[in-house]
Amino acid sequence: MAHRTPLALIAVGVIAAHVVLLQSVSLQLQPPDPLSVKALITRTLVTPEAAPAATEAPPAPAAPAPLRPARTTRSVRAAAPDMAAQPSAPASAPVATASASKPAETPPPSSAPVAEAPAPPPAPSQPATPAVALAIPGSIKLNYKVFAVYRGQDRQLSGSLQWRHDGVNYDARLEMSVPLLGTRSDHSVGRITTEGLAPQRYASKARNEEATHFDRDRGRIVFSANKPEAALMAGAQDRLSVLLQLSALVGGSPAKFRAGTSVTIQTAGPRDAEPWIFTVEGEEQLQLPGGAMSALKLTRMPRKEFDQKVELWLAPGMDYVPVRVRLTNANGDSFDQQWSGTDKG
């Protein structure tokens, strides 16, 4: 028995140890798991301390201190119309914004007349009718026999006036044969306007050609002969176009050109430009190489020592084209161009 007792005690001790061991194991299996899980979750939540940073970030966008100025900008915009209405009140902008917000509705009616301002343009459109009554002769070629007195001798020459236009642009050329000089020519080109002919270039050629330019953009007449330029006057003509301009004027209003009536037109030659005054002398019966006819005579008398006298006859039965032109120089030379026939086309 004494021998068995220790064995029994040992067995009891072993069993007790196992029981204690099993209890400790069960204790470790149950509580630690939930605690350890919670600890892990809290750690993951702690790492989202970025979240507090995110919560701090909103203040930055929310920091839109610009939102507050935005309100001020609105008040400035509201003040703007008021300041336009009362420019003297910029100092009291905040007060003006509150008080002027109501009157700001009044400017719209005042702006309405501004929108109606474009209405005046119809007025300038009324001058659609030409300021001058005109009757531009159709394209034609007039042939002349020229009875000349040249250096004290009588001579018979020939000449022609070629007149062409398309209603917008014109081209006129007067040619005449001159002893010892060959063909003398005057050439004018330009436009047809409501005021009549508007020359752009005039050229006179005897031995050499001299040109005159009408610079309408700068309001001047320029001469190629190195002469001082002249101011361009309204209705200015050259020495050839002036003959056809008178045809158009007289043809447009024949009743206005009674005997004694005078017409002043700035006329440019190859070296100068000055007013030419034409005086209506009345109708005359002419016996011309091309036939007998009635024509209205106009004369430009010389004003200076070396001025040229110009006599012009316009025939009503031929659209007032110049059927006779007589030029008399200061030295006594003269060229009397008389109509001998017509070529059309």
pLDDT tens-place string over residues 136-160: 999 999 999 999 998 888 999 999 9
56 in any annotated domain = no
132 in any annotated domain = no
20 in any annotated domain = no
212 in any annotated domain = yes
75 in any annotated domain = no
159 in any annotated domain = yes
Question: Rounded to whole angstroms, how far apart are CA atoms 308 and 294?
Answer: 25
The pLDDT of residue 233 is 97
Strand partners, 62: none
Mean pLDDT of 47-57: 42
Q: How many domains does one find in the chain?
A: 1
202 in any annotated domain = yes
> Which one is predicted more confidently, 171 or 55?
171
User: 113: helix, coil or strand?
Assistant: helix
Query: What percentage of the chain exceeds 90 in pLDDT?
Result: 54
Strand partners, 214: 221
Structure tokens given for 269: 């030659």
241 in any annotated domain = yes
pTM above 0.75, yes or no: no
The pLDDT of residue 101 is 40
Burial state string for 158-175 with b = 16 or more CB within 10 A and e = fewer than 16: ebbbbbebeeeebebbbb
Residue 137: closest CA among 165, 102, 100, 168 = 165
Range of the domain at 317: 140-344
- pLDDT tens digits for range 217-244: 999 999 998 899 999 999 999 999 999 9
